[in-house]
């Protein structure tokens, strides 16, 4: 959408960092559509022309403005990282999501036909590999590696293999216990239900493990689940029960960042969906490639590196807030 003569709609969604009182709600709304922001936006878009088409309140502390934009079209990720924009957000305790959709899109909403989600610390609250470590009392050692990997300090596959080696001997039926303790993230079901009602394909692709990804697929009614497969070893003298070998299955692909992006692109191709009509949510550095490839990629409550590098980011308390980016009018968690 960058050729001469192109037109588009710029959808700007404002999230107050704390849900306001009625007085603060009016103040936040005034900021979102007032002259200060309009002047700031005009300066960032120049020499492109912009016209405010609409402004609406979506929920207390959440507002959305839609602008008609003409060539040259802006890059939403550049707008969100511009120092004047980040200063405006900090001054007014806001987070702003920028989204560019084709001119003439129905109802000015982002068209989405495929939604891909990370699992750990996104659709669920936990990091499953850390929960596996907890089951044999080595939480600290594994969690430290996990944190560095998710923040991009370690290469993902190497860090995964290192952590798995520490988990050799975990009982193979550990998944039954984890399914009782792992918690689905607030708003995840509402978000997935909203997407399913609109016939959007929904996918979880995880650097975690297949038993939990398949369980989550069933819990939320997702269409696809992709995750790592582990080798299970039979009972022996050291471990008198079936147990995890500490190795990845050589018969299945390893879910590294490039594979996550591949899943997004291959499913889009298989279902004849333009990448511009895809939506991706994740929190770790291994999600950055697929976030960048999506029509709209949002880092959700993400690690520090991902907050800096993702196309868009949001740090709310419920995933149902993301419904507002896709045409929803009111929060189901309210």
Task: For residue 85, give both structure tokens.
Answer: 């924009």
Catalytic residue among 99, 108, 120, 283, which?
A: 120
| Residue whose token pair is 């419920």 | 318
Report helix, strand or coil for 190: helix
Nearest-angstrom CA–CA distance, 59 and 92 = 17
- Establish whether 103 is a catalytic residue: no
Nearest-angstrom CA–CA distance, 316 and 62 = 11
Q: Which residues sit opposite 65 in a β-bridge?
A: 12, 55
Nearest-angstrom CA–CA distance, 109 and 99 = 10
* Alpha-carbon separation of residue 143 from 11, 97, 140, 210 (angstroms): 38, 31, 5, 20
Task: For residue 39, give both structure tokens.
Answer: 């002047």
* Alpha-carbon separation of residue 29 from 32, 61, 221, 331 (angstroms): 5, 8, 36, 17
| Residue whose token pair is 């502390």 | 61
Catalytic residue among 99, 108, 118, 321, which?
A: 118
Pairing of strands 224-228, 201-209: parallel
- Establish whether 118 is a catalytic residue: yes
Pairing of strands 62-70, 7-16: antiparallel
CB 323 within 8 A of CB 191: yes
132 CB-near residues (< 8 Å, 6+ apart): 142, 167, 170, 174, 178, 244
Q: Which of 7, 2, 12, 6 is nearest to 325 (CA)?
A: 12
Residues marked active site are found at: 118, 120
């Amino acid at each position: 959408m960058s050729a001469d003569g192109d037109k588009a709609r710029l959808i700007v969604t404002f999230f107050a960092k704390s849900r306001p009182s009625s007085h603060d709600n009016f103040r936040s709304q005034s900021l979102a559509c007032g002259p200060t922001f309009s002047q700031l936006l005009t300066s960032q878009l120049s020499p492109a022309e912009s016209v405010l088409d609409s402004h609406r309140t979506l929920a207390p502390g959440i507002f959305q403005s839609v602008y008609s934009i003409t060539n040259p079209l802006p890059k939403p990720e550049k707008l969100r990282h511009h120092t004047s924009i980040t200063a405006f957000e900090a001054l007014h305790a806001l987070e702003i999501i920028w989204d560019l959709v084709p001119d003439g899109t129905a109802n000015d909403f982002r068209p989405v036909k495929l939604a891909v989600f990370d699992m750990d610390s996104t659709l669920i609250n936990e990091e499953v590999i850390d929960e596996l470590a907890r089951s044999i009392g080595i939480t600290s050692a594994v969690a430290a590696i996990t944190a560095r990997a998710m923040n991009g300090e370690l290469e993902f596959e190497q860090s995964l293999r290192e952590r798995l080696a520490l988990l050799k001997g975990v009982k193979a039926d550990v998944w039954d216990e984890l399914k009782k303790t792992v918690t689905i993230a607030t708003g995840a079901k509402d978000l997935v239900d909203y997407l399913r009602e609109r016939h959007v394909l929904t996918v979880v692709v995880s650097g975690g493990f297949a038993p939990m990804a398949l369980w989550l697929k069933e819990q939320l009614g997702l269409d696809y689940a992709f995750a790592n497969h582990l080798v299970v070893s039979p009972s022996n003298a050291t471990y008198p029960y079936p147990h995890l070998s500490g190795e990845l299955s050589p018969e299945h692909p390893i879910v590294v960042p490039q594979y996550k992006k591949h899943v997004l692109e291959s499913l889009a191709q298989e279902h004849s969906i333009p990448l511009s009509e895809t939506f991706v949510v994740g929190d770790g550095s291994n999600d950055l490639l697929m976030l960048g490839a999506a029509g709209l990629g949002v880092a959700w409550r993400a690690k520090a590196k991902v907050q800096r590098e993702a196309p868009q980011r949001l740090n709310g308390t419920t995933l149902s807030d993301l419904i507002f980016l896709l045409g929803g009018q009111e929060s189901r968690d309210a």
